Amino acid sequence: MKSPQRDDIKNHFRRDSLQRLKKMSEKSIYKKDKMVLAYLYQLIVEHQAKKIMLYLPLKLEVDLYPLIRKLRKEKRLLYVPFMEGKSFRVVRYRYPLEKKKFGLKEPKYSTQYRTKQIDMAIVPIVGVDATLRRVGFGKGMYDRFFEKEIKNINKIVFVARELCYSKVIVTNDYDVKADIVVVP
């Protein structure tokens, strides 16, 4: 259930967390991304994930492109969000990528590259609270997607360059919950 007071606390937490992420130095970002990618790859191998949902990063998010290149060489099936209204569906990662809404890149849409079952979903976060539920950028796209598709996803992995954590519960029941959180 939505609570105006909780939404205010969540928005305040989101704003503070984004400020922390924006203050990181380039050197720090590079090191942290490298650590996160190494651990993510280890998780993918350990869980024998073949069908993986990733995101195409914005500036404040862990840069997954080196991991994407590695996984493509291994012939793993990679899927990324394709925006549709207030949510998205996943489509196969393929070239060319086009810049879309919010500066996001995405492949051209094609129904032949859709999938139902996902072994692992790698999701960017701004922060999490005590319930390990996601605080994102505030658009609700991942929440709407997971509400429909959660039954088709085996593992949900949250990633961030820094753990922005709230001991106070700031999320709602509909916010996506992680199986694993990966931060440096």
Note the pLDDT tens digit of each residue in 14-44: 999 999 999 999 889 999 999 999 999 999 9
The per-residue pLDDT for range 34-91, each reduced to its tens digit, is: 999 999 999 999 999 999 999 989 889 999 999 999 999 999 999 988 777 777 778 8
pLDDT, position 90: 83
- Per-residue pLDDT band for 8 (boundaries 50, 70, 90) equals confident
Model confidence at 127, pLDDT cuts 50, 70, 90, reads: very high
pLDDT at residue 118, rounded to an integer: 94
Look at the block and give the residue holding tokens 């692992």.
120
User: Do 133 and 175 form a contact (C-beta atoms < 8 A)?
Assistant: yes
Which has more confidence, 100 or 132? 132
| pLDDT value at residue 114 | 58
Neighbours of 44 (CB within 10 A): 22
In CATH terms, the fold of domain 4-182 is Rossmann fold (3.40.50)
pTM over 0.75, yes/no? yes
C-beta of residue 131 within 8 angstroms of C-beta of residue 177: yes
pLDDT at 1 over 60: no
Q: Tell me the C-alpha to C-alpha distance, in Å, between residue 46 and each of 43, 49, 119, 136, 151.
A: 5, 8, 12, 27, 21
Lowest mean pLDDT among 132-141, 150-159, 174-183: 132-141
Tens digit of each residue's pLDDT (9 = 90 or more) over 91-120? 887 766 767 666 666 666 655 555 679 999
- CA neighbor of 111 nearest in space, from 152, 82, 140: 82
Kindly list the domain boundaries of the chain, sorted by start residue.
4-182
3-state secondary structure of 159: strand
DSSP string, 2-42: --HHHHHHHHHHHHHHHHHHHT--HHHHHHHHHHHHHHHHH
